[in-house]
Structure 1
Amino acid sequence: MDNYDGLVNFFSNDSNDTGYPKVIDENVVLCKKSDVVQFGAAFLPAFYYANFLVSLVGNGLVLCIIYKYEKLSTVTNIFLLNLVISDLIFASSLPFWAVYHKSEWIFGRGLCKLVGSCYSIGFNSSILFLTLMSFDRYLAVVHAITAAQLRRPAYAFMSSIIIWVFSILASIKDIVLHDVMDGGEGLLCEMTGYHQKFLTKWELFGYYQQFFLFFLVPLAIVLYCYTRITIRIMFTRMREKCRAVKLIFVIVFTFFICWTPYNIVILLKAIKTSFGDQNDCSNTLDYALYVTRNFAYLYCCISPVFYTFLGKKFQNHFLTLLSKRIPCLKIDVARLSTTSKTTSIRSPNTDY
C-alpha cells in the first residue's frame, strides 16, 4: 500500500523504544504530505469498508449459487470459484487498511506482513483470473471444436494453480519487505528495513510490474479475445447476438474504465520516480492515486458478481433462490428457465 508514499525518504534498521525501525534524518528532501494523509483519513476508510461489504455480500451470493445449483465439473465454474476466492482474499485486507488510514497500524508485525500479502496476492490473482476467463471464452466460442478436448476440468485446475503460483511470486517483495516502523506520529506498515535506494528500486519494479504485467498484457488479451468473439458471433445465426455483443461491450468498457486511470497514475509515478525532480513535492499524483485506485479496488470486489449475473443461467438461479422467499417470483423463474433452454439449444458454445 502507498498509504504514506513520500512521507519518509530513508528507513533505518535501528530501533527506538517501541522496538520498531525508526525514521532517521539524512541529507534527503522530506516532502510534507499531511494534506494527502488527512485526505486519505477522511475518505478512504469509508470506501474500503463499502468495498469490503459489497465483496462479502456479492461473492457470498455467487458462492451460494455455485454450491446450490452448479457443479465444479465445468471449466467456467472452476475459474469463477477461483476468481471469487481471490477477490475475497483481497477484500479481507481492506478493513485493516481502513483502520490504518484512519489512525495508524495497530495490528502488529505479523498481521502487517499477512495483510500486505493478502492484498497483493488477491489483487494480482484477480486480474489474472479475469484475463484467463476471457481467454477461455475465446476458446469456447472461436475455437469450439478444436478446444473441446482441451477444455476439461484438469486444464482448469492446472491453469488455476499456475495463476496462484505466479501471483504469489509476483507478491514476494510485499511479503518480504512489509514491516512495521515508527513514523514519528504513529506506527506505519510499509516497505522498510533496508536502505532507501534499495527500497526505491523495488518500488519502481512494483510500478512497472503493475503497469505492464497486470494491466497492459491483460488489456491486450481481453481486447483481442472479445474482438474475435464479437466477429464470430456477428457471423452466426444466434437469435440474441445483439444482446451478446452488448454484453461484450459492457465487459470490455467496464474493464477499461476501472483499470486504465489507476494504471496511468502508476506509470506517471514510476516516470516521476525514475526521471523526475526529486525535490518536487507536488501532491497531485498522490491524490490521483487515492481516487483511481478505488475504482480498481471496486472492480476487483464485484467482478465475480458482474461476470456471473451477465448470464441468463445465473440470473435464473438467483431468481430461484429469491422465489423461495418471495413466491410471486416463481412465474418469472419459469419463464427465464424456458428462455435459457431455448437459447442454449441455439447457441451451445456461448455463455451469453
Structure 2
Amino acid sequence: MNTPPSPSSASTPGTGRTDGASVRIGALAPLSRPGWTEAGRHLLAGLELAVAEVNDAGGIAGCPLELVVRDTAADPRRAAAAVEELAHLGVAAVAGEYHSVVARAAAARADALGLPFLCSSAVLDALTEQPTDWVARLCPAQSHGWRIYADFLLSEGHSRIAVATQSSVYWASGTRILRDHLAAHGGSVVELDMGALAPGDVCGELVGSAATALLLLVGHPDPAVPIVRSVRGDHRLAEVMIGAPAGQPEFAEWAALLGGDGAGIPFLRYLPERLGPLGARVGAALHERLGEAPSFVAFEGYDTVAVLAEVLRSHGSDRARIAESWSHVAVEGTRGKIRFSRTPGISVRQWAWAPVQVVDRDPAEPDRFRIRRSG
C-alpha cells in the first residue's frame, strides 16, 4: 500500500486511476515520532475501514478504491513533499492529517498543485493563506471548538486562566481565541512559556498567577505529562483545574502514563452525545480493528473516505470536478449529515459543524468519559 507503483501500473495524472484497475487517494497521517502516533493510528484505522467497506460494496464504478499512505511524522516539509509525490503518482485526492501546522503545509501544496485535499482532523482556522476551492475540512475550526471550551470554563467559575504553552502557530492561535473570548466576559489569560520553564517550575508560577485553571497548550507526552504530575503533586494547587482543549487525554496512552492523575482534565472531542445506527456500527468495527475504543479521530478518518467515495461515485475522479463538488456534498456520516459551505473567517470549504463536546475521564473510573458540555 505504501510502495510507489511500478511503471506497468503508473497512474494517469489528474484521474486517480491506475490503468483502470483502481481509484487512488493519498492519505497523510503522523505514524512515527515526533508525530502523535496514537492519533495517526486511529486516523488510519478509520480511513482503512471505510476503504474496505467501499470495496466490499463494489468500489467506485466497479474499480477498487486504494489508499496510498504517507507518514508525515508531524513534519510540515515532509507533508508538503508527500503531497508533491502523491500528485505525481496520480491520486485523485489527498486526505487525512492530524497536526494543524502539518495540514497547513499540505493544504498549501495541494492548492498550488490543483490537487483536492479533504482535511480530516486539523483545526487551525487559517488552513490556507487565501480562500481556495481545492481544500475542504471535516473537523470544526479551532475558533469554533475553543470558544465552546472557553464557555465551559466560564460556566465552571474559571475566569482567570493560566496556559502552559509552547512556540507554535497552533498554540498561539488557541491562546488568542481563549484570551479574546474570556476578555469579552471579564476574564483573563496568563501565559507560562514552556520554552523558558521546566515542568517543575510551573507550580511556582501558577501559585503566583492566582489562576484557578491551567490549560495544557503543549505537546504530548512531553511536556504535558510531567506538568500534570508536578501540579497534581503540589498540595498548594489542589483546587486548580487542569484542562487540555487540544485533546491529549482522549487516547489510551494518556491514561496508561498518568493513571488517576490523568482524570478530571476536560478536553475537546468531536462526537455526538449518542451515536446513530451508522456511528454505532462503525464504532464497533473500529473497536475490533484497533483493539480498543475508537477515538473521535478514527470516526473522522472513516467520514473522510465516506465523503470522498460519494464524490468519486457522483462526479468521477477528475481533480477539478472533485474540487467543484465540495459545495454539492450531502453525505450521511458517522456523526451527522456532512455538508460543506463557505464559513466567515475560514479559507476552505468547511463542514459547519461536526458535533463538539467537552469531556473528561471520570476520576472514579478513568477509562470512562464524562460529557461536561456539548456545543
Alignment TM-score, normalising by the size of structure 1? 0.24
The structure whose RCO (Cα within 8 Å, separation 6+) is larger is 1
Q: Which protein has the larger Cα radius of gyration, Structure 1 or Structure 2? A: 1
Query: Normalising by structure 2, what TM-score?
Result: 0.23
Task: Identify the structure with the greater helix proportion.
Answer: 1
